[in-house]
Amino acid sequence: MPRKSTRLTFAVLATGAGVFSMLQSLIAPALPTVQHALHTSQSTATWVMTAYLLSASVFTPILGRIGDLVGRKRTLVAVLLTVLAGCLLAALAPGIGTLIVARVIQGAGGALFPLSFGIIRDEFAPSEVSGSISNLSAVIAAGGGVGMVAAGPIVSALDYRWLFWIPVAVVAATTLIALRYVPESPRRAEGRVNWSGAVLLSAWLVALLLPLSQASQWGWGSARVISLFAAAVVLFALWLTSEARSRSPLIDLRVMRLPAVWTTNTAALLFGAGMYSIWSFLPGFVQTPAVAGYGFGASVTGSGLLMLPMLIAMFLSGMLSGRLEPVLGAKTLLTAGAALDAVACGILTLWHDEQWQVALVAGVFGFGIGLAFASMANLIVGSVPPEQTGAATGMNANIRTIGGSIGAAVTSVLVTGHLQPSGLPYASGYTHGFGLLALLCLAAALAALLVPVRRAARVTGVPRASDDPARTEPAASVPSARG
């Protein structure tokens, strides 16, 4: 494919990944509206978010691996068509059950992240790969911010169904352009899909994430929560055994044990816990009526505007990281991004009485997100063989999501554990929650310090990243993960 067309390829990838990222947060501020319009309960309406989370967690690594095996363009187009169908069904949904099914279908779009990173690595010139991954990461990070900011005005001016009609039009056009201009993968991974591994991966992810997302309603000590956590442990052990014995594992555990990969994934787990929790609880904080002793009584649109500095900072820092990474290194940027978010949450813990303070914190936090998002992607892509790019980046995104679920669940306990007679949380609940998030982001920064400076490593039986003609970093030798 002519090199001049890489700009169009990037535009397609950025649009698809950005829309999926936006869908993650776009519906959250509109849940009360959806609940009222579809005549359902609050607990049922929350499944609109839960179903999407579970679906994306299952599909992201599986479809990322399928893309490695059968071709990334082919898988990308299939995923875009699936997201299109899910958005169309959601826009037309007559009831909450149909909407939840539509969100499950949309969740397959999580695979757009690893597929896009793999296509960039395959098709772009070596000098363009790091910067393009950083720019794409900036779009992905900003997409979540766009969802928070745009939800209120869209619902107020039109209707909640337009939260899905707009993506229908965008994804349809993106799919057509992808069919025509995105090239197919020049290399494929060998082997086949390990379906038993896929089933076990799906099972332990659901068994882990479902009780985390529902524990506040079911009760942390309930039989359902405890039994699901126990099942997650057993299924995880079975999955590890299945993958270790498979000749064609879904997730190659040797790659996951590379120093640069496991340390980056550890940072991603902790960073995700802080990032997703801020996205979940900061809008609720600013929407709380002032009679509670805190909060500003902001509308959905008003709270979105307070998040606008975060959106702008995420995008700018993600774009900037592409230029800084060759000079400072992805490890330094990841550490700095997590440390900035720790500082932001620390400030929020101490000062949150004025709207300008929240806006300032949002901007600092967003700047850290942009740096960290781009750095994590570059560290993973630069550390694994080309044919493992989809699976490895898919698992990194998944681990970040798992961290987000854990962080949100624990923060929810702190915020809602003790309520005022009015039913609103006490200010101390939010203060303790923000303090916890500061500690989680600080732990992510410390974990990032463990990332090896060299990003590529040789494992027996696994080609090093530097064997890829598109990468030229030196590689360090490590013992075989299989012994």
Render pLDDT for 364-408 as a digit per residue (tens, 0 to 9).
999 999 899 889 988 998 888 887 888 888 888 889 888 888 888
Structure confidence by residue, pLDDT tens digits, 431-471: 999 999 999 999 999 999 999 975 434 444 444 444 443 34
Domain that holds residue 29: 3-193+248-477
Claim to verify: residue 154 and residue 287 sit in the same structural domain: yes
Same domain for 313 and 456, yes or no, is yes
- Provide the pLDDT for residue 373: 83
Q: How many CB atoms lie within 10 A of CB 177?
A: 17
Total number of domains in the chain: 2
336 shares its domain with 269: yes
pLDDT range class, residue 476, cuts 50, 70, 90: very low
Return phi, psi of residue 428, to 5°: -65, -30
pLDDT digits (tens, 9 = 90+) for 157-201: 888 899 999 999 999 999 999 998 888 877 777 777 778 888 998
CA 120 to chain centre: 19
Q: DSSP letter for 234, please.
A: H
User: What pLDDT was estimated at residue 357?
Assistant: 93
Average pLDDT of the segment spanning 217-243? 92
Q: Tell me what the mean pLDDT of segment 281-289 comes to.
A: 87
Asked if residue 231 and residue 289 are part of one domain, the reply reads: no
pLDDT at 479: 36
Residues 311 and 387 in one domain: yes
Report how far residue 244's alpha carbon sits from residue 123's, in angstroms, rounded to the nearest whole number.
31
More confident position, 280 or 317: 317
State the CATH number of the domain containing residue 281.
1.20.1250.20
CA 396 to chain centre: 9
**What's the pLDDT at 471?**
40
Is residue 336 domain-resident? yes
Q: How far apart are CA 243 and CA 372, in angstroms?
A: 29
Q: What's this model's pTM, rounded to 2 decimal places? A: 0.81
pLDDT recorded at residue 454: 56
Q: Are residues 147 and 271 in the same domain?
A: yes
Query: What contacts 445, CB < 8 A, 6 or more positions away?
Result: 267, 335, 336, 338, 339, 342
Q: What is the mean pLDDT of residues 6-15?
A: 89
pLDDT for residue 478 is more than 70: no
483: in domain: no
> What is the C-alpha separation between 415 and 261, in angstroms, rounded?
33
Tell me how far apart the alpha carbons of residues 96 and 79 are, in angstroms, rounded to a whole number: 24
Identify which of 20-24, 135-139, 220-224 has the greatest average pLDDT: 220-224
Checking if the pLDDT of 87 tops 80, the result is: yes
Same domain membership, residue 441 and residue 327 = yes
Same domain, 233 and 254: no
Average pLDDT over residues 64-86: 91
- Average pLDDT of the chain is 85
**Cα–Cα distances in angstroms (integers) from residue 99 to residues 67, 88, 94, 104, 390, in the given order:** 28, 10, 8, 9, 29
The rounded distance, in Å, linking the Cα atoms of 176 and 173 is 5
Rounded distance between C-alpha atoms, residue 92 and residue 96, angstroms? 11
Residue 73 pLDDT exceeds 70: yes
Mean pLDDT of 79-106: 95
Q: Say if residue 109 is in the same domain as residue 224.
A: no
pLDDT at 461: 46
Q: Is residue 474 over pLDDT 70?
A: no
What CA–CA distance (Å, rounded) separates 358 from 311?
A: 14
Burial of 262-287, coded b for 16+ CB within 10 Å and e otherwise, reads: bbbbbbbbbbbbbbbbbbbbbbbbbb
**SS3 label, residue 253:** helix
pLDDT of 227 over the 70 cut: yes
Q: What percent of the chain lies above the pLDDT cut of 70?
A: 93
Would you state the structure tokens that stand for residue 424, as one six-digit string? Answer: 């609103």
Query: Has residue 101 been placed in a domain?
Result: yes
Look at 248-252, 291-295, 307-311, 432-436 and tell me which has the smallest mean pLDDT.
248-252
d(CA 227, CA 416): 24
Q: Which of 92-101, 103-112, 265-274, 413-422 has the lowest mean pLDDT?
A: 413-422
DSSP 102-150: HHHHHGGGGGHHHHHHHHHHHHS-HHHHHHHHHHHHHHHHHHHHHHHHH
* Element counts in the chain: helices (H) and strands (E): 19, 2
